[in-house]
Chain A
Amino acid sequence: MRRESSSGSKFRYIAHCLLLLVCFLLEVTPGMFPVVFGVLPKLVITVVICVAMFEKDLAGAIFGLAGGLLLDLSSMQLPGFNAIILLIMGCAAGLIVSNLLKNTFSSAILLCGGAVLIYDIIYWLIFYVFRGIDHSLYYFARYMLPNVLYTLILLIPIYFIMRRFLKSAKA
């Protein structure tokens, strides 16, 4: 089996970093990405899960940490909240793909959809339910569930671009 050169793997990780940064900027910059029915997709989580699927648990954890720290910059909620959640999700996704599931598009849908849903549930519980915000159930149904759907739609190009790119890089 041909071992991948270290320069090849460095190039891959640089590309992953750029993709993460671009998706972060698309997600947080006003007017850069279309808001559909008041909802934005979670592009950073999508990239973290995809990187974890292709590069496994350690890379997933590191990219999760990086993506979470970036999201914390624009967030007014608990500092470090996104960093912790995405770190765990990135690591978990990498472990699941290593031990339980194959790296296929169906697995990507399952992992990404599950990750966004779990993130939204945790966010909703901590910042809405436990704080006693009125109409919290309505908020969950109206904004968070469509958010999962919108994110899964954007998973399609991100996953296949990454897969195509990695195939070319390894060739």
Chain B
Amino acid sequence: MRIFLRSRRFKILLAVIAILLVVMILTITISRYASPQSSFISVITTPVQRFTSFLSGKVGEISDNFANSEEISAENEELKNRIAELENQLTDYERMKQENEYYKQFLDLKQENADFELEEANVIARDPNELLYRTFTIDKGSLNGVAQNDPVVAQGRYLVGYVYEVSPSQSTVMTVLNPNISISAVVNRTSDIGSISGEVTLAEDGLCRMTGLSRSSGAAAGDRVVTTSLGGTFPDGLIIGTITEILPSGSDISNYAVIEPSADFDDLSFVMVIKGFEGQTGA
């Protein structure tokens, strides 16, 4: 052991650790752009991650089909002669219909907000240490015009979170379930303003909370919560979720609302990044 501690190998090891620490500190203090080593590696690994994500989706489809195969085979035997000609047409129709539904959601968003600059993205990876909060990585980065704090939506105009870290070819998204997030929001019906953040026990049920509601607030279960443009990070009107209950805050005289997000975090494979909008001021 002493020989190792005095060896050149150990000194090289210490030097590598020191370099990594310096890069880490510089990256934190200067910006939330990904570190140089992560940016370089991400250019190589993003295509691989995109492929494995696609593969994972296909495996899921195959296992679903296998579970239902007995029933489908029996029905198929009866109808085989009649529908043989229409099967190919049906496959094309289904594919086009799915694509159409997907794009229609975002077309509505674009039509209502002509100033939005949108970038579609695929979810290619998750943060294994942040599984509870569904933190994920998308396959678009600074080369596609994506920047830090860009809002991310899914299934139309449901807010998922925002871009936390950017590499040239990929970005990491922090979701509304994360305790470190803070998003200005307003209750649509009563105009009460508060702040959205996550919480460990709520995130287990896929919920988040809206803090800072006054005790006299008229907000109630069933009210819709949307983003506000206060601060310039988010545009007005992106749907965050619905209030399920109002509870007193344990630490001060305000209330907080438990929010059920409208976005389906368990079924996220495509999202849209809002790269630009009128009134955006960035970080």
Which residues of A does B touch, CB under 8 Å?
A: 21, 25, 27-32, 35, 38-40, 42, 57-58, 61, 65, 69-81, 83-84, 87-88, 91, 95, 99, 123, 131, 133-136, 138-139, 143
Q: Is the CB of B124 within 8 A of A29?
A: yes
Question: With contacts A57-B4, A73-B41 known, what are 10 further pairs, Cβ within 8 A?
Answer: A25-B49, A30-B125, A65-B16, A73-B45, A73-B170, A74-B172, A75-B130, A79-B165, A84-B20, A87-B16
Q: Is the CB of A72 within 8 A of B38?
A: yes
Q: Is the CB of B127 within 8 A of A74?
A: yes
Q: Does B72 contact A (CB under 8 A)?
A: no
The 4 A-B pairs of least Cβ separation, nearest first, read A79-B35, A80-B24, A31-B56, A135-B200
Q: Is the CB of B23 within 8 A of A79?
A: yes
Q: Does B201 contact A (CB under 8 A)?
A: yes
Q: Is the CB of A84 within 8 A of B199?
A: no
Q: Pick the contact of A80: B20, B53, B124, B136 (CB < 8 A).
A: B20
A81 — which chain B residues lie within 8 A by C-beta? 24
A-B contact pairs, 13 of them (CB 8 A): A29-B49, A29-B52, A29-B125, A30-B269, A31-B53, A31-B56, A31-B57, A58-B9, A69-B41, A73-B45, A79-B165, A87-B16, A123-B129
Q: Is the CB of A84 within 8 A of B24?
A: yes
Q: Is the CB of A131 within 8 A of B180?
A: yes
Q: Pick the contact of B41: A35, A70, A77, A78 (CB < 8 A).
A: A70
Interface size, chain B (Cβ < 8 Å): 54
A29 to B128 alpha-carbon distance, docked (Å): 9
Q: Is the CB of A29 within 8 A of B132?
A: no
A-B contact count (CB 8 A): 134
Q: Does B21 contact A (CB under 8 A)?
A: yes
Q: Is the CB of A40 within 8 A of B131?
A: yes
Whether A70 contacts B45 in the complex (CB less than 8 A), given A30-B56, A75-B127, comes out as yes
A129 to B50 alpha-carbon distance, docked (Å): 34
Q: Is the CB of A79 within 8 A of B34?
A: yes
| Shortest Cβ distance from A76 into B: residue | B172
> What is the CB-to-nearest-CB distance from A132 to chain B, in angstroms, rounded to a whole number?
9
Q: Does B27 contact A (CB under 8 A)?
A: yes
B199 — which chain A residues lie within 8 A by C-beta? 134-135
Q: Is the CB of B52 within 8 A of A25?
A: yes
| Shortest Cβ distance from A24 into B: residue | B45
> What is the CB-to-nearest-CB distance from B87 to chain A, in angstroms, rounded to a whole number?
28
Q: Does B212 contact A (CB under 8 A)?
A: no
- What 1/0 mask marks residues of chain B from 1 to 45 whose CB sits below 8 Å from any chain A CB? 100100001000100110011011001100000110110011001
A28 to B137 alpha-carbon distance, docked (Å): 9
B34 — which chain A residues lie within 8 A by C-beta? 79
A74 to B199 alpha-carbon distance, docked (Å): 21
> What is the CB-to-nearest-CB distance from A170 to chain B, in angstroms, rounded to a whole number?
24
Whether A75 contacts B172 in the complex (CB less than 8 A), given A30-B126, A31-B56, comes out as yes
Q: Does B108 contact A (CB under 8 A)?
A: no
A146 to B20 alpha-carbon distance, docked (Å): 30
